[in-house]
Copies of this chain bind each other. A is one copy, B any other.
Amino acid sequence: MYLEGLSKSQKLPKEKGKHFDLVHCGKFADLVKLFEPANHPLTDKPIAGEFFLKDQINLTGMQVSFGTMPAGAAVPFNHKHRHNEELYIFIGGDGQIQIDGHTFSVHEGTAVRVSPEGKRSWRNTGSTNLNYIVIQAKENSLGKDIEDGKPCHSQPKWE
């Protein structure tokens, strides 16, 4: 159903330092170019693709994917999770998400949290690609600190 192994992803421009990793993935409307075009062998419908960031930039607290779904495509099954909360952020196109049998329209700027046990699926109801970002993090893992960030004494030095 999904294309997760992406030969082209190896060639994305990257930067790396002691405390960071950076990758330039390109414009979201071009996401589909990261994937080899393909139809599902059984349904002959176009296949949704997800580009996973975790191994690209060494994430340790979350899995994140950029997803794209061509017009006419749908995830043909529900899925749930074992331990991870999921957040879907839709960034372009028009679609629907179904959770535990409840169906909602989604479009740019729609954010949906789903608990591990929620049964979820989604589809593209528009005429363009449906693009989205999916974030997984362990449920209840976030610390109770209201503010985890703290300012440094140093200031940025822009050239």
Q: CA–CA, A82 to B146, complex, Å?
A: 11
With CB as the reference atom, state the residue of chain B lying closest to A29.
B108
Q: In the assembled complex, which residues on chain B have CB atoms less than 8 Å from the CB atom of A75?
A: 156
* Contact of A8 with B by CB under 8 A: no
Tell me if A136 counts as interface (CB < 8 A to partner B).
yes
A118 within 8 A of partner (CB): yes
Residues of B within 8 A of A152 (CB): 77-80, 119
Q: A155-B78, A156-B74 are in contact. Are A22 and B138 (CB under 8 A)?
A: no
- A77 contacts which of B80, B102, B145, B155 (Cβ < 8 Å)? B155
Chain A interface size, under 10 / 10 to 19 / 20 to 34 / 35 or more: 35 or more
With A60-B140, A137-B142 as given contacts, are A78 and B109 in contact (CB-CB < 8 Å)?
A: no
CA distance A97 to B17 in the complex (A): 13
- Give Cα distance in the complex from A74 to B102, angstroms: 42
- How long is the Cα–Cα vector from A100 to B87 in the complex, in angstroms? 30
CB–CB B85/A59 < 8 A: yes
Asked if A148 contacts B82 (CB within 8 A), the reply is: yes
Q: Supply 20 further A-B pairs (C-beta < 8 A) apart from A15-B104, A57-B112, A137-B137.
A: A21-B112, A21-B113, A23-B111, A24-B109, A25-B109, A53-B87, A56-B111, A59-B87, A62-B87, A63-B142, A79-B149, A81-B149, A82-B145, A84-B149, A96-B158, A98-B157, A119-B154, A135-B135, A136-B142, A138-B143
